[in-house]
């Protein structure tokens, strides 16, 4: 089995190296925009070929001197990425390519050939890598990387990316492993929620604290209020001031820190679940539909708009879709299986008698109106999710949502 993975490491740069990478990042973004404009409105009357696009890039690098600051291989990779974006669009996997904004887009520079990296480990915590037109730069050695040193596998390339916390390098790796044996662990149902991040059907709930520490949360609140005051002080259509830009940058830094802590918790939690359980059952949720605004229209305005906006913010902060993505590939690598099931009525049905009644759910408390069973609503939903996959004790009931349904109990095969 071939496993492709990316390993992110933070770069340790001098001011000159930061400036050089910023120039390459802006050149890559400008080259993408020029390529997109030429591809869409080149005036050829037909779809351009890769040969024509390659020649157009070469001519642009000759005509515009600062485009030559981007290494030739990185420029060729911009073309490959652009063509891949169109292919993903035609196959229904993504939206069509668009122009990249200088403010909102994320800067990145590709190093497609691994042999050009010359990765070396200098000490226990520091390594170095070679980047064209920048030189040798150091990075934090925060863990092993396949294909480097004695680690099995190979490094196929890298990509330099910049976020609000600085420049990072992402090593693209490939490892060949034997097909794993079937995982003999138990099956479990997982309910993803807000009160309990991951409620498991066996009671082994996974929770976390606030992503920001109390002092950081206070600072975030002060910065958001400061940004609101600075924004109100602007005249209509006035250009954003440098002070407001600096405030936005500080807010983005705190949000990026919280995002990293969430990713760290998700990785550790999903790894532990994949190691313990052989089959994991989750709801098939449409997160985008669940987090839509409740504003409505002018003719039909929504209700409880502010409350729904707060709930949407909390749900997005949990990143439930990413949790499922991590679970899927980690279970596959360990011989486990992820089973998605429909989410309808899992929170309204009693996991003991099978009676369905919306009145049974009262916040985080579930009290069955038929048999009187009482428990945590998220744990009850997790058990129903496990039942929906045909595992454990499965309840069958009539589809009518009201009244006292007669239920039967059977053992899963």
Torsion, Cα of 341, 344, 350, 353 (10° steps) = -70
Extract the tokens encoding 172: 């693209």
C-alpha torsion sign, points 273, 275, 279, 284: positive
Decide if 378 is catalytic: yes
The pair of three-digit structure tokens given for residue 210, joined into one six-digit string = 């606030």
Question: Per this entry, what is the length of the chain?
Answer: 413
Which position among 191, 328, 357, 405 bears the catalytic label?
A: 191
238 is catalytic: no
Q: Are 261 and 318 spatial neighbours (Cβ–Cβ below 8 Å)?
A: no
Which 8-state DSSP code applies to residue 206? B
Residue among 110, 283, 318, 405 flagged as catalytic = 283
CB atoms within 10 A of CB 351: 24
Per annotation, catalytic residue among 110, 318, 328, 378: 378
Radius of gyration over every alpha carbon of the chain, rounded to an integer in angstroms: 26
What is Dmax (Cα atoms) for the chain? 79
Terminal-to-terminal C-alpha distance of the chain: 30
Is 54 designated active site? no
**7, 41, 147 from 45: Cα distances, Å:** 43, 9, 46
Q: What are the residue numbers of the active site?
A: 191, 283, 378
């Amino acid at each position: 089995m071939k496993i492709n993975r990316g390993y992110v490491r933070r770069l340790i740069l001098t001011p000159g190296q930061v400036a050089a990478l910023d120039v390459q990042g802006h050149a890559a973004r400008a080259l993408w925009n020029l390529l997109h404009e030429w591809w869409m409105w080149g005036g050829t009357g037909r779809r351009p070929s890769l040969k024509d696009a390659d020649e157009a890039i070469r001519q642009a690098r000759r005509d515009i001197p600062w485009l030559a600051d981007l290494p030739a291989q990185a420029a060729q990779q911009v073309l490959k990425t652009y063509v891949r974006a169109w292919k993903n669009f035609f196959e229904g996997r993504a939206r069509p390519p668009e122009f990249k904004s200088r403010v909102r887009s994320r800067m990145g520079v590709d190093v497609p050939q691994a042999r050009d990296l010359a990765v070396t480990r200098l000490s226990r915590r520091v390594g170095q890598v070679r980047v064209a037109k920048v030189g040798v730069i150091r990075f934090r050695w925060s863990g092993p990387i396949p294909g480097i040193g004695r680690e099995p596998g190979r490094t196929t390339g890298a990509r330099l990316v910049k976020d609000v916390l600085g420049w990072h390098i992402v090593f693209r790796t490939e490892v060949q492993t034997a097909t794993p044996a079937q995982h003999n662990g138990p099956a479990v149902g997982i309910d993803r929620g807000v009160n309990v991040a991951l409620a498991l059907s066996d009671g082994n709930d996974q929770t976390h604290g606030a992503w920001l520490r109390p002092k950081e949360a206070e600072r975030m609140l002060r910065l958001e209020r400061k940004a609101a005051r600075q924004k109100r002080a602007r005249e209509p259509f006035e250009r954003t001031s440098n002070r407001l830009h600096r405030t936005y940058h500080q807010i983005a830094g705190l949000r990026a820190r919280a995002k990293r802590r969430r990713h760290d918790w998700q990785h550790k939690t999903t790894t532990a679940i994949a190691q313990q359980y052989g089959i994991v059952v989750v709801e098939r949720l449409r997160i985008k539909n669940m987090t839509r605004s409740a504003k409505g229209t002018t003719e039909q305005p929504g209700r409880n708009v502010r409350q729904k906006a707060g709930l949407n913010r909390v749900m997005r902060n949990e990143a439930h879709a990413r949790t499922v993505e991590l679970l899927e590939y980690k279970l596959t690598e360990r011989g486990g299986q992820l089973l998605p099931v429909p989410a309808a009525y899992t929170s309204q049905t009693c996991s003991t008698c099978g009676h369905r009644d919306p009145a049974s759910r009262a916040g985080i408390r579930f009290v069955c109106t038929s048999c009187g069973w009482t428990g945590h609503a998220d744990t009850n939903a997790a058990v129903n999710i496990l039942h929906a996959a045909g595992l454990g004790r499965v309840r069958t009931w009539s589809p009518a949502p009201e009244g006292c349904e007669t239920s039967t109990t059977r053992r899963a095969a």
